Structure 1
Amino acid sequence: MKHAGSRALDRLEPLLERLRALPGLKEKSRGTFFYRRGKAFLHFHEDPTGLHADLRAGDDFDRFRVETEAERERFQKAVEAALR
């Protein structure tokens, strides 16, 4: 699974804007990597099944599908919970 390219990130731009507004996250490169406290926290991938986001939950990453707006909202809520 490859990291999301420019076209994929263009589709995710509204979500990326919401993530950029969250305190405690630093975007190292557009949509590819967000860091929290100096550690990779979330990033995006694309594959034939669609767009996915990996979110660090403890020591591991959990994968979320982010193709639909409902999936993106679910992912954003998981990010907000992880930041608490």
Structure 2
Amino acid sequence: MMNMSDIEDMVKMLADAPEEQRKKMITERLKTIASQPEEQRIKSVAGIVLATSKLKKKKMAGFINTRTVAMTELPPEEG
């Protein structure tokens, strides 16, 4: 389980990554979250949302856009 500092570091790193790399890594993270027990999924998603809110607007917009695209491309059983 990642702590909040780890999640913030991960989100910052992803926000700085090139688009294709960011999308690939976010997709893998979403698959990992989908396989977690419900309580852990809730904590993981909440941590990512909180960490995303701490990004600068431009980085936040790119991260949210990529995350949204990745989520819409996952099969329902994986997202």
TM-score range, shorter chain: under 0.3
Instruction: Tell me which protein shows more helix as a share of its residues.
Output: 2
| Higher share in strand | 1
Query: TM-score scaled by structure 2?
Result: 0.25
Structure number with higher relative contact order (C-alpha < 8 Å, ≥ 6 residues apart): 2
